[in-house]
Chain A
Amino acid sequence: EPEVTQTPSHQVTQMGQEVILRCVPISNHLYFYWYRQILGQKVEFLVSFYNNEISEKSEIFDDQFSVERPDGSNFTLKIRSTKLEDSAMYFCANLLRTQLGGYTFGSGTRLTVV
């Protein structure tokens, strides 16, 4: 199955600092998503992208968060002023228009805010 690449795999940051999480989608993608998973909890939807625009966002995705496509290929999730409760695993996902169908997730970035 095609891969979605996320970097870094693990990031530790001081509370109040800005972090940028990166995702390189696979080719032939349509929709693009960001999710977070607090340790031991469910996978929560943050935001979806279609045609380089936000198509939907959850109540979690407040002004602290932003998404960009800075170079036409990579996608980034920026958290402006991190809080302790932002510590979580962050996943990006692409929708595949192939016979396999469905969504493919990256391996995730584990963010630890100290």
Chain B
Amino acid sequence: GIQVEQSPPDLILQEGANSTLRCNFSDSVNNLQWFHQNPWGQLINLFYIPSGTKQNGRLSATTVATERYSLLYISSSQTTDSGVYFCANDMRFGAGTRLTVKP
């Protein structure tokens, strides 16, 4: 089956720092998405990015389909960025990266 691996599993940052989250896939990249699960458990769609680069404010994402990975960049992190970040390929989820941003 499709394997989705995320790294790092946990990340602790000071407010204002930048970070890069990675997602590797065992299979071809199709419907690649990044989600943020907030402290209330809601899954928020960040990016639908089967290839290329997209930016939305302080967040951006890049998917290199030929090398089967995707990166999520968070710049100038804020405490509200805390939560778990999931990537999903063909609606199969990785285990997530738990991000904690400290004030």
List chain A positions with a Cβ less than 8 A from chain B: 1, 33, 35, 37, 42-45, 48, 89, 91, 93, 95, 100-105, 107-108, 110
Contact with A along B24-43 (1 / 0, CB 8 A): 00000001010100000111
Q: Choose one: B35, B41, B94; the contact of A108 (CB below 8 Å).
A: B41
List chain B positions with a Cβ less than 8 A from chain A: 31, 33, 35, 41-43, 45, 47-48, 86, 88, 91-96
Task: List 16 other contacts, CB 8 Å, given A43-B93, A105-B35.
Answer: A42-B94, A43-B43, A45-B91, A93-B91, A95-B31, A101-B48, A102-B31, A102-B33, A102-B48, A103-B31, A103-B48, A104-B45, A105-B42, A105-B43, A108-B43, A110-B41
Interface centre among B33, B48, B95 (most CB of A within 10 A): B48
Q: Are B91 and A44 in contact (CB under 8 A)?
A: no
Query: SS class of chain B's interface: helix, strand, loop or mixed?
Result: strand
How many cross-chain pairs have Cβ atoms below 8 Å apart between A and B?
47
Residues in A whose Cβ lies below 8 Å from that of B48: 100-103
Residues in B whose Cβ lies below 8 Å from that of A110: 41
Q: Are A103 and B91 in contact (CB under 8 A)?
A: yes
Minimum C-beta distance from B8 to chain A (A): 15
Q: Which residue of B lies closest to A41 (CB)?
A: B95
